[in-house]
Amino acid sequence: MADARNSIHVPAPKFRPGDTPDFSHLKLPRAGETPKPDVDADPAKIRDLAYGLVRVLDHNNQAVGDWNPELEAKVLRQGLRHMVLTRIYDDRMLKLQRQGKMSFYMKSLGEEAISVAGVMALDAADMLFPSYRQQGGLIARGKDLVEMMCHCISNSKDNLLGRQLPVHYTSAAHNWFTISGNLGTQFPQAVGWAMAESKKGGSRVASSWIGEGTSAEGDFHSACTFATVYRAPTILNVVNNQWAISTSQVIAGGEATTFAARAIGYGIAGLRVDGNDFLAVHAATQWAAARARGGHGPTLIELYSYRAEAHSTSDDPSRYRPKDEYKAWPLGDPIARLKDHLILLGEWTEDRHAALEKEMTEHVVKSYKEAESHGTLHDGPLSPVHTMFEDVYAEQTWNLRRQRQDLGV
């Protein structure tokens, strides 16, 4: 081993291609073990939560402990439906990308509970500042699948007029902010939105998501600083899915401490949550939202999970981590866990699940047919070219007018 005084310590993930992954070294608290404080708790009194793990579903997928949100079965079924649809949508979109129907795609396999429960636990009026892997949240908000697809294939009905890469959804009608490709910029913007809400005396909260890799950006510090100073009604979510493209969470500072523990230095509430547990994500989000709405300040939530798929269609994870490492991940599959929980409750069956998958598959296939009838990036029709020169300013300036004329559109 290199002498620590004479070399740079560069942390590395435990397993590389060819290794057999084994996560038994992770000391994960059991379901029900991490206590649930009151929503107005003093952050200084609940620091342990940043090192714990909010879990509701135990190894038998029974809901246990104080954090059990005790949701009605129909809400759980709704959550399951959104998650299943998200997964099937992702699968289909990836295949279409491989067929050249769109330029780029990003799946959220294994992270569906984070996006779906993290949105379902909020009010429809609450504002979302997502990153690019929260498509499940947009589905949970009821966005039309055809519209999502039209954006991804940049066709004549793309509501963004072909200006953004696929999956950078924008939907003001769903209180879904315009997704940036620059990492973390939305985090302090969400805080500003929430400050304006305080000014207006409103009761809405803002929720934002970044990855654990992005928590190294200055915008993370910006968001936490402004959120604590102005006690902004915000939920700041850090999705720790272990990987930032090829870079392990240890390179983002995960070797030394948890990402939730970053909250402690800012004096804000920090929760570490099993991101593959629909009930835990829902309960933690609901707690943070109530805290924000009550004027008790922001919450930083680390959602502990695993990115089961490639970062994007431009990535090849077999070059930096063991194949199928996600199968060894100790927190399991969020869809399977919620499904088994519902079956345990007598509120779901394998047959109903199979029927749901079939229904969602048909919905996705049918939606894509309709989306494709409005064109594809490859074959057109696209949005009219002259729209390229619009919306730069509220009114087109002389230089843009001349440039449009120069292009002859």
Partner 1 sequence: MPAKNMIQAINDGLDVLLDTHDDVLVFGEDAGYFGGVFGCSQGLQKKHGLDRVFDTPINEGAIVAAAIGMATNGMRPIAEIQFADYIFPAFDQIVSELSRIRYRSAGQFTTPLTIRTPWGGGIRGGQTHSMSPEAFFTHIPGIKVVVPSNPYDAKGLLIAAAECDDPVIIFEPKRLYNGPFDGDPNKPALSWAKHPKGEVPDGRYTVPLGEAEVVREGSEITIVTYGTLVHVALNTAEQEGVDAEIIDLKTLAPYDIDTIAASVNKTGRCVVTHEAPRTSGFGAELIAQIQEECFYALEAPIARVTGWDTPYPHAHEWSYFPGPERTARAIKRVLEA
Tell me the sheet residues that pair with 240: 304
Q: How far is the CB of 224 from partner 1 (least distance, A)?
A: 10
Nearest to 231 by CA among 43, 14, 53: 43
Q: How far is the CB of 196 from partner 1 (least distance, A)?
A: 4
Question: In this complex, which beta carbon is closest to partner 1, that of residue 151 or of residue 272?
Answer: 151
Q: How far is the CB of 154 from partner 1 (least distance, A)?
A: 12
Give, in order, the Cα–Cα distances in Å from 135 to each of 33, 81, 116, 213: 31, 14, 8, 19
The count of C-alpha atoms lying within 13 angstroms of the C-alpha of 197, restricted to the half-sphere facing its C-beta, is 25
Binding residues vs partner 1 (CB under 8 A) = 127, 129, 159-161, 163-164, 168, 170-172, 177-178, 180, 182, 185, 187-200, 206, 218-219, 221-223, 225-226, 229, 391-394, 397-399
In one-letter notation, the amino acid at residue 48 is D
Q: How far is the CB of 187 from partner 1 (least distance, A)?
A: 8
Distance of alpha carbon 115 from the chain centroid: 5
Length of the chain (residues): 409
In one-letter notation, the amino acid at residue 126 is D
Cβ atoms within 10 Å of 212's Cβ, excluding its own: 26
Question: In this complex, which beta carbon is closest to partner 1, that of residue 17 or of residue 202?
Answer: 202
Question: In this complex, which beta carbon is closest to partner 1, that of residue 18 or of residue 218?
Answer: 218
Tell me the sheet residues that pair with 265: none
Q: List Cβ neighbours of 107 (8 Å cut-off, separation of 6 or more).
A: 90, 91, 93, 94, 309, 310
Q: Is 228 helix (H, G, I), strand (E, B) or coil?
A: helix
Question: In this complex, which beta carbon is closest to partner 1, that of residue 5 or of residue 393?
Answer: 393
Q: How far is the CB of 152 from partner 1 (least distance, A)?
A: 15
**Helical (H) or strand (E) element with 238:** strand 234-240
Q: List Cβ neighbours of 43 (8 Å cut-off, separation of 6 or more).
A: 263, 264, 267, 268, 269, 270, 297
Question: In this complex, which beta carbon is closest to partner 1, that of residue 2 or of residue 393?
Answer: 393
**135 near 86, Cβ under 8 Å?**
yes
Q: How far is the CB of 76 from partner 1 (least distance, A)?
A: 32
Question: In this complex, which beta carbon is closest to partner 1, that of residue 47 or of residue 221?
Answer: 221
Q: How far is the CB of 377 from partner 1 (least distance, A)?
A: 16
Cα–Cα distance for residue pair 409/393, rounded to 1 Å: 18
Residue 206: φ, ψ to 5°: -110, 140
Q: How far is the CB of 221 from partner 1 (least distance, A)?
A: 8
In one-letter notation, the amino acid at residue 234 is T
Question: In this complex, which beta carbon is closest to partner 1, that of residue 222 or of residue 247?
Answer: 222
**216 near 252, Cβ under 8 Å?**
yes
Q: How far is the CB of 161 from partner 1 (least distance, A)?
A: 5
Instruction: Please give the span between the terminal C-alpha atoms of the chain, in angstroms, as a whole number.
Output: 65
Question: In this complex, which beta carbon is closest to partner 1, that of residue 46 or of residue 236?
Answer: 236
Q: How far is the CB of 202 from partner 1 (least distance, A)?
A: 9
